[in-house]
Structure 1
């Protein structure tokens, strides 16, 4: 009898779809309060998940999905830096 391994699912804050954790990118708020892209999903801190597309990132920025996830306002400079980082990782 084979044991079926459970695949962890996470919800994208941009499009709202449930996808396997490995297919999503994690945006992380560190203990210092800075925001970074955690491509491996292993760093410590509060995280929110996004599809690996710039369109989902823009949807999350427009609908304030990241701000809801982190329960705080996010400055525009942070959005611009995160979008640049996501573009570099996605290529």
Structure 2
């Protein structure tokens, strides 16, 4: 395996990871920011008020984006399997 091929595989793997994680985390971060602003404006310091909406948002994102996330991972895996002869030989 040449260093260029290894770097290319690593770059693609990291980009898939960043895209998949961002699709799940970004909505949760936005909801967390909105809840934090609400808590700061009303001086409510309840921990569950911050945690529960973020948890539900993460679960909803996984539910709605699950098919796309699995399809993205499968496409990446199939591409890696097709590269085996190029990398080995």
From the CA coordinates, give the structure whose radius of gyration is larger.
Answer: 2
Q: TM-score, normalised by structure 2?
A: 0.28
Higher helix proportion:
2
